[in-house]
């Protein structure tokens, strides 16, 4: 028994040594903001590659970009670059995009990719407010907050790996494979509140260097506070990951009082000109948002009425038709739903959700060839989505070729074996004799 305990202790010590070596053989790099050495497990080239890979996906999952508004996109890009040029990492391949979501949000991906939602930018009143938000997101990138979050996750995974090896004797190669999903999960990581506070400080520094008035940041945080009461469904998720608005308002006021930049004029003319189109369409998107709120209550006739109102106010917005098609499906109006979904996909010009939903509605109408085409387009726009691959497999299962159905069922099982889609795909493969 004593020898067994000693062997077990040796195994534990060896496992811990493996983990310690793994951690301290990681790369040390200087943080671009603080200048201090920082333990990281991601090179800058990898950081850039991740941003490039995820950026198109993030845009698609936020309903693409607002249609017919290149002026707004160019304007936001210009403001973003003005800030990036005075940041700690001016040479990154920065990109700034307005995405077509009503949620109140802005977010940054590794390597200089920044998005702000239509819902947030249309609530602002000046370029200085926009600069404060973009500066905050640039701060997350320059301080490598996503990389730090990734490193914390690697360290945790390493510790758990050591524990697993000690307790179960798991083979090293097999255990290492268990951590293979770390990189793929990077974009699900949130920032800590201390990181959010640092991003606020950096946003202030960048906006003042670029010629903006820091009082605008106070106004932005006051906006968030008011929206928490007036439109909680559009902002609550964002607020839950950030410091309390009252704290941010107080800190922003303190910074503004101590800065001579607080005497600068607020830039509104170009901002209002660039936002003119979106402001003129506000009633249409409000109608859509009201329809979305009613959809949560499953009041489908009223939902459809709101989406029709949105269409009447702005008939060139594809996602209004897509949403109407969903509401019509819920009411059993399959043929009208198909017409609406087709129009939504046609107007949306290569956006993921309208094609996914067209495939669903086409299948309900037994238009399997149309469903295959729609789900294929969705797969081209946003590859690897489990639900779309599953539905594409089912559509091929109806009309062939069988080999295509098997191909996509296998993709679903490989990507998500324990999900309902993965289990259903596995059952179908068994029935077809292809497991």
Annotated active-site positions, please? Answer: 137
Q: What angle do CA 387, 390, 393 make, to 5 degrees?
A: 150
Contact at 8 Å (CB) between 78 and 40? Answer: no
DSSP secondary structure, 33-86, as one string:
TT--EEEES--HHHHHHHHHHHHHHHHHTTTSS-TT-HHHHHHHHHHHHHHHTT
* Number of Cβ atoms within 10 Å of the Cβ of 204: 23
**Token pair listed for 245:** 């608005």
| Longest alpha-carbon distance in the chain | 81
Write out 43-56 in H/E/C secondary structure. Answer: CHHHHHHHHHHHHH
Alpha carbons 43 and 34: distance in angstroms, whole number: 17
Alpha carbons 223 and 229: distance in angstroms, whole number: 10
* Number of Cβ atoms within 10 Å of the Cβ of 136: 27
Distance of CA 4 to the CA centre of its chain: 50
Instruction: Count CA atoms within 13 Å of residue 274 on its CB side.
Output: 24
């Amino acid at each position: 028994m004593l020898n067994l305990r000693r062997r077990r202790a040796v195994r534990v010590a060896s496992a811990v040594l493996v983990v310690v070596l793994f951690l301290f053989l990681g790369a040390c790099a200087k943080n671009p903001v603080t200048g201090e050495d920082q333990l990281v497990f991601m090179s800058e080239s990898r950081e850039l590659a991740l941003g490039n890979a995820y950026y198109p996906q993030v845009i698609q999952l936020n309903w693409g970009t607002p249609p017919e508004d290149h002026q707004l996109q160019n304007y936001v890009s210009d403001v973003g670059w003005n800030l990036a040029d005075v940041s700690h990492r001016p040479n990154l391949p920065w990109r700034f995009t307005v995405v077509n979501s009503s949620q109140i949000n802005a977010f940054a991906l590794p390597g200089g990719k920044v998005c702000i939602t239509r819902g947030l930018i249309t609530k602002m009143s000046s370029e200085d407010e926009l600069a404060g938000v973009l500066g905050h997101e640039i701060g997350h990138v320059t301080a490598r907050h996503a990389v730090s979050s990734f490193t914390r996750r690697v360290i945790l995974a390493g510790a758990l790996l050591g524990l697993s090896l000690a307790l179960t004797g798991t083979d090293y190669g097999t255990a290492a494979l268990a951590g293979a999903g770390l990189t793929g999960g990077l974009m699900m990581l949130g920032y800590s509140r201390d990181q959010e506070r640092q991003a606020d400080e950096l946003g202030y520094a960048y906006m003042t260097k670029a010629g903006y008035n820091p009082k605008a940041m106070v106004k932005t945080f006051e906006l968030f506070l008011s929206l928490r009461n007036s439109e909680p469904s559009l902002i609550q998720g964002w607020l839950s990951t950030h410091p309390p608005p009252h704290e941010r308002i107080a800190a922003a006021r303190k910074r503004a009082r101590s800065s001579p930049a607080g005497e600068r004029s607020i830039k509104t003319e170009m901002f209002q000109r660039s936002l003119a189109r979106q402001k003129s369409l506000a009633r249409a998107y409000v109608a859509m948002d009201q329809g979305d709120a009613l959809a949560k209550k499953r009041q489908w006739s009223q939902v459809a009425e709101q989406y029709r109102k949105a269409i009447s106010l702005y008939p060139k917005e594809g996602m209004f038709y897509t949403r109407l098609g969903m509401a019509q499906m819920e009411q059993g109006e399959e043929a009208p739903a198909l017409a609406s979904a087709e129009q939504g996909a046609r107007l949306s010009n290569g956006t993921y959700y309208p094609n996914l939903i067209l495939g669903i509605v086409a299948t309900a109408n037994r238009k399997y060839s149309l469903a295959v085409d729609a789900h294929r387009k969705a797969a081209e726009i946003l590859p690897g989505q489990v639900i779309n691959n599953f539905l594409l497999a089912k559509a091929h299962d109806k009309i062939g070729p069988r080999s295509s159905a098997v191909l996509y069922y296998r993709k679903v099982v490989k990507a998500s074996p324990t999900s309902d889609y993965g289990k259903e795909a596995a059952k179908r493969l068994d029935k077809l004799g292809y497991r």
